Structure 1
Amino acid sequence: MTVGFSEQLLPPWRRAVLKVGSSLLAADGGGLSPRNAQALAGFVSDCMAAGREVVLVSSGAVAAGRAIVHADTAVDAPIAERQALAALGQAQLIGFWQGFFARPVAQVLLTHDDLRNRRRYLNARATLSALLRQRVLPIVNENDTVSVDELKLGDNDTLAAIVAALVDAEVLFIATDIDGLYDADPRRNPQARPVEVVARFSAELLSVAGGAGSASGTGGMRTKLDAAQRAAAAGIATVLFNGTRADVLEDLARDRLRGTRVHPTRSRGAARKHWLQNAPAEPGAIVVDHGAGDAIVEKGASLLPGGVLAVRGDFRRGDMIEILLREADGEQRLARGVSQYSAADIRRIARHHSREIEAILGYNYGGTVVHRDDLVLS
């Protein structure tokens, strides 16, 4: 008889990403089933009612599209055919989730290229942040109609880990169709024992996770552990739990876990600081006055356009650039960070108040030139 998971308390969290795969949503006869979705939506609603923020990463578009045209598409069907089913099913998937919530939901379709491109990464983060501020539930999915990554690899698990870092989540919840990670496959080995806490990753641990999951989904426990490892490196904890059990979800909303908890391998602040310190910078810089320099160093403030004296080089929005402090005898390195505007834009808004940005440029990416979360002292 397989041993069950004991209860453990989760630390407090403010923002999370919940990943739900096709295996939990697909109906036996095709399409989408509310069987598990009802309790998963209840967990999200309970969290949001408590003032927390949740981003939902949901698979299921292909399953929904398959039911619309009554297609019997194999997992190894041509990519174009599965992309067509995803296009058919996206609206169905969003409508399916909206039916469980009184608050509005918003569809956000991303590709891995969007998240590798720094400018599109910033745009996606700004959009998701705006939705969360408005108490909307963002529902993220791979843009299967133009990207083949998820259709080929089943890596919405990886997408969820990337989104967790994108929105600065404290925890990544991954719903599975078993109770958590075991030291052997519990479906084949009744002596399998639960792994309740993962403090570090090893080749042995990853080999235990095995291969693909159910026929409805394309990712198994291995892709979930790979995602957890990615999240851990970004300072984000991961929780693996059984999304088919309403009692587990009710307890989870009260920070009581029966499943596997994966600890981050570093703090979120340390992970972010390491990236900011080591990411390659573009050959460009912003020169600031002493008022801006003091605010950055002494108060941990963002760089505002009013403190900009000059711009060096020709960089783009999203580029890593140096921030220089003008002294009587020259300029010295003060900090580095991700620019919210291009060099050409900053030249136009320099020495102006943040509220003037839109009037000058005709658009507005926010009131900061470099946000304090994207800035590290040199």
Structure 2
Amino acid sequence: MNTFNWKRIVIKVGSALIAPKNQGCSSHFLLGIAQFIVRCRAKGIEVVLVSSGSVAAGRNLFTAGSEESIAVKKAMAAAGQTEMMATWDRLFDFASAQILLTHGDLRDRERFISIRETIFTLLEHNILPVINENDTVTTDNLKVGDNDNLSAMVATAADADALIICSDIDGLYDKNPHTHDNAKLLSRVDEIDSAIYQMAGGATSATGTGGMRTKIEAAEKAVSHGIDTFIVNGFTELTFNMLLDGKNPGTHFVPHENPMKEHEHWMKHTSKEQGVVVVGNDVKLDTSNDEEMITSDEIVEVKGRFAVGDTVLVRKGDGTRLAKAKSNYSSCLLSFIADQDDQNFASEFQQKTGPIISQQNIALLEKS
């Protein structure tokens, strides 16, 4: 059964599977997924479930036709979350645990590590972690926005071997299969580039918040960490039977042979920049030596407000994105030393206080 040699997987289930008619939770499409989870666990594969659906599950509890303001949607999420968890619990004869996250939790390094430890501890005690974005309290500044990308961040945090993203179609097609009869399914993607993104349309379901593009974004995050990623049709039981038989039922995104280190991956794909450090167009960053990453005389401008320890984007004046990194200086102090005409003062100041960016706290960006 376990021909993929997985030890731990993350499976993402969307709102369209949880509450397909926006009339509360339904187990109709969840039975096959639950059985898949049960059979995986029986074979020694640990499972983490990322489940959307709290807003869709709670919608039927509110006055039909009323305006769905942000406050109303938060209330729907609060009411629907308990129903969603109860629905999953009815399908299992083992314990599950609810973990509600915001992007603010994930992008804070200390909280990210705490989340990892919680997931590992639950799995050690044979408890199924069920993870969702905390829509009730999240804000635009703190939200991930879709559970596709959240599932990739969770898969990274959980050190998963595979990420299975359930969709309402069989996988990634070269064109929209709903409008093109000659659309072809891509069974394998070795590299995610601009051509792959161009194949992604908008959301195919009126219930969910993510479309194919967010699934590809999630796949890009996961494969860069060495995680097998699949986009599959979650509405058919055949999908999960094929996975259990070690066969690909949808689109398989092949993981990188040389995956990014965990901390570097977190910096690039999960941490959110709080400001921008603009450097000269001739600046090149090299992490292969022990030289200082950035000197004050290379800084052209400091944008935004950030504190010591916050993540910043380092880019050239022409817009080229060089890296994301943890700043050892606040924006106020960095602006001060960068504005000094006396470079000896700036150099001596940095010698006393340390580098602007430490080598172990930077992630180079492949795309400019």
Matched, 1:93 2:98: no
Q: Distance in 2 between matches of 1:277 and 1:153?
A: 15
Matched, 1:215 2:220: no
2:14 corresponding residue in structure 1: 21
SS at structure 2 position matched to 1:182: coil
Cα pair 2:22 2:207 within 8 Å, conserved: no
Instruction: Go from structure 1 to structure 2 and tell me whether the alpha carbon gap of 1:110 and 1:37 turns closer, same or farther (over 3 Å shift).
Output: same
- Letter of the 1:23 partner, please give it: A
Q: Distance in 2 between matches of 1:266 and 1:273?
A: 18
Q: Distance in 1 between matches of 2:205 and 2:265?
A: 36
Q: Distance in 2 between matches of 1:90 and 1:141?
A: 9
Provide TM-score, normalisation by structure 2: 0.69
Mean CA deviation greater in 32-41 or 20-29: 20-29
Matched, 1:146 2:137: yes
Q: Structure 1 residue 186: deviation in Å? A: 0.5
Q: Distance in 1 between matches of 2:22 and 2:9?
A: 32
Cα pair 1:62 1:86 within 8 Å, conserved: yes
Q: Distance in 2 between matches of 1:83 and 1:178?
A: 29
Matched, 1:170 2:161: yes
Count of residues paired in the alignment: 274
Q: Structure 1 residue 11: deviation in Å? A: 2.7
Instruction: Go from structure 1 to structure 2 and tell me whether the alpha carbon gap of 1:202 and 1:89 turns closer, same or farther (over 3 Å shift).
Output: same
Cα pair 1:79 1:151 within 8 Å, conserved: no
SS at structure 2 position matched to 1:264: coil
Cα pair 1:21 1:59 within 8 Å, conserved: yes
1:257 corresponding residue in structure 2: 248
Instruction: Go from structure 1 to structure 2 and tell me whether the alpha carbon gap of 1:40 and 1:47 turns closer, same or farther (over 3 Å shift).
Output: same
Mean CA deviation greater in 257-266 or 182-191: 257-266
Instruction: Go from structure 1 to structure 2 and tell me whether the alpha carbon gap of 1:82 and 1:170 turns closer, same or farther (over 3 Å shift).
Output: same
SS at structure 2 position matched to 1:24: helix
SS at structure 1 position matched to 2:230: strand
CA deviation digits over 1:247-274, x for unaligned, max 9?
A: 2212212322211000123444x53375
1:272 corresponding residue in structure 2: 262
2:127 corresponding residue in structure 1: 136
Q: Which residue of 69, 81, 88 maps to 2:62?
A: 69
Instruction: Go from structure 1 to structure 2 and tell me whether the alpha carbon gap of 1:149 and 1:131 turns closer, same or farther (over 3 Å shift).
Output: farther
RMSD of equivalent CA atoms: 3.0
Instruction: Go from structure 1 to structure 2 and tell me whether the alpha carbon gap of 1:117 and 1:189 turns closer, same or farther (over 3 Å shift).
Output: same
1:36 corresponding residue in structure 2: 29
1:231 corresponding residue in structure 2: 222
Cα pair 2:56 2:80 within 8 Å, conserved: yes
Cα pair 1:153 1:218 within 8 Å, conserved: no
**Unaligned stretches of 5+ in structure 1?**
1-8, 279-317, 320-373
CA deviation digits over 1:63-117, x for unaligned, max 9?
A: 111122354467xx32111011001111111001001000011100011110111
Q: Percent identity?
A: 43
Q: Distance in 1 between matches of 2:179 and 2:142?
A: 27
Q: Structure 1 residue 24: deviation in Å? A: 1.4
Instruction: Go from structure 1 to structure 2 and tell me whether the alpha carbon gap of 1:140 and 1:273 turns closer, same or farther (over 3 Å shift).
Output: closer
Mean CA deviation greater in 201-210 or 150-159: 150-159
Instruction: Go from structure 1 to structure 2 and tell me whether the alpha carbon gap of 1:95 and 1:120 turns closer, same or farther (over 3 Å shift).
Output: same
Instruction: Go from structure 1 to structure 2 and tell me whether the alpha carbon gap of 1:217 and 1:50 turns closer, same or farther (over 3 Å shift).
Output: same
2:100 corresponding residue in structure 1: 109
Q: Structure 1 residue 213: deviation in Å? A: 2.4
1:198 corresponding residue in structure 2: 189
Provide TM-score, normalisation by structure 1: 0.67
1:56 corresponding residue in structure 2: 49
Q: Distance in 2 between matches of 1:19 and 1:72?
A: 30
Instruction: Go from structure 1 to structure 2 and tell me whether the alpha carbon gap of 1:79 and 1:129 turns closer, same or farther (over 3 Å shift).
Output: same
Q: Structure 1 residue 277: deviation in Å? A: 11
